[in-house]
Amino acid sequence: MKRPIPGTKLIIAALALLVAAGGMAFAEERIQMAILLDTSNSMDGLIGQAKGQLWKVVNELARSKRHGVHPVLEVALFEYGNDQLSDSDGYIRMVSNLTTDLDKISEDLFKLTTDGGSEYCGMVIDRAVDRLSWSRAGDVLKVIYIAGNEPFTQGPVAYAASAAKAIRKGIIVNTVFCGSFDEGVSTLWKDGADRADGRYMSIDQDEAVVNITTPFDKDIVTLGDQLNATYLGYGSRGEALKERQAAQDSNAASMGAEATVQRSVAKAQGAYSNSGWDLADAITHKTVTLGSLKDEDLPVEMRKMTLPQKEKYVQGMVSRRTALQEKINAANEKRRLYVAEQMKNSAGANSLDRAILTSVKAEAAKKGFTIE
């Protein structure tokens, strides 16, 4: 009689638990993206593009799928090359670690200011590789985008060493030079990307991005405004974070009509989730239960309700949100077709969002993601 393979009973027991829990478990699909922005004096245009195009980038990445599942999107933000930052830290600051809290990224972007400084590309890449909470899973798409306009060789950390470290951790480094393509090549921005399996791109950070107005914009924004009414702040920071959401709506609006439309579309995507403060998202993702929350942690209008009434109220908000999101996405599909038709005879803007999306789609495809 053959002896059982060691650990067989444990494996069978584990599989039994998975089946009992509702089937086999699969790793969560995930995209991690770190944006490293030069915030020296000459970079106001770059920062402006980042502010205005954040939600467009989010929306395109949110369309990606692998194994039929939309990925979790995590974004991180660094600034470098700013005299207001500590010289002992190489004029570098990690503004935000990798997070799914996209309103925080927006809030942090709009707080950035520019000032002259020394731009240490190798050092900021090294910091991003070492200090961000990168996944150890080999199938996660992990990308860095560094944008700036000074020689890539500045600073005490060699960019070649930083690129090699990134590759060892499965992180792709893409470089975006703010200036002419040939100047970026001669100042080794292309070499920096080549050494980290990334893509080199050049942009004009001061170029005015032409936005196309469509017949669907007004409806999308109106639906987005209605969507805001479905958010239910809970917990000690619920109301404050709901106010932050409204502030990011205003920030997007300050960048023009296109940013407002893209922000409304973003709220209809799975990548935009606020389960840490919004009750509808929290119940949907099963991060809390209504029975576990005290009345003082709930929105004012829910505090005198019975538990069944609370459950019905929240489910009503979830259903309303789902319906509004479906309408937004339907309108956005028509909008995308309209914009594509208008852009047929246009080369498109040489801008930050185009640089990011052109490269990340190719890199995502190598990891098995498809982006429509």
pLDDT in tens, 131-190: 999 999 999 999 999 999 999 999 999 999 999 999 999 999 999 999 999 999 999 999
Mean pLDDT of 113-129: 94
pLDDT at site 347 = 62
Residue 80's beta-bridge partner residues?
38, 92
Structure tokens at 41: 């004096």
Structure tokens at 270: 């799975």
Contact 112, 95 (CB under 8 A): yes
Is residue 22's pLDDT more than 60?
A: no
pLDDT tens, residue by residue, 74-106 = 999 999 999 999 999 999 999 999 999 999 999
Is residue 339's pLDDT more than 70?
A: yes
Count of CA atoms in the C-beta half-sphere (13 A) of 146: 35
- Give the pLDDT band (50/70/90) at residue 41: confident
Backbone angles phi, psi at 259, to 5 degrees: -65, -35
Contact 50, 109 (CB under 8 A): yes
Backbone angles phi, psi at 303, to 5 degrees: -70, -25
Tell me whether residue 215 is exposed, middle or buried, using C-beta atoms within 10 angstroms of its C-beta: 0 to 12, 13 to 18, 19 or more.
exposed
Give the start-to-end residue ranges of the domains of the chain.
30-208+348-366, 217-342
Instruction: Specify the DSSP class assigned to residue 41.
Output: G
What fold does the segment set 30-208+348-366 form as a domain?
Rossmann fold (3.40.50)
- Report how far residue 53's alpha carbon sits from residue 47's, in angstroms, rounded to the nearest whole number: 10
Residue 77's beta-bridge partner residues?
35, 96
Opening angle at CA 66, ends 287 and 20, nearest 5: 50
Which helix (H) or strand (E) element contains residue 123? helix 121-131
Among 183, 196, 262, 150, CA closest to 34: 196
- Report how far residue 38's alpha carbon sits from residue 112's, in angstroms, rounded to the nearest whole number: 10
Pairing relation of β-strands 172-178 and 141-148?
parallel
- Report how far residue 290's alpha carbon sits from residue 269's, in angstroms, rounded to the nearest whole number: 24
pLDDT tens, residue by residue, 236-279 = 999 999 999 999 999 999 999 999 999 999 999 999 999 999 99
Q: Around Cβ 162, how many Cβ atoms within 10 Å?
A: 27
- Report how far residue 309's alpha carbon sits from residue 288's, in angstroms, rounded to the nearest whole number: 17
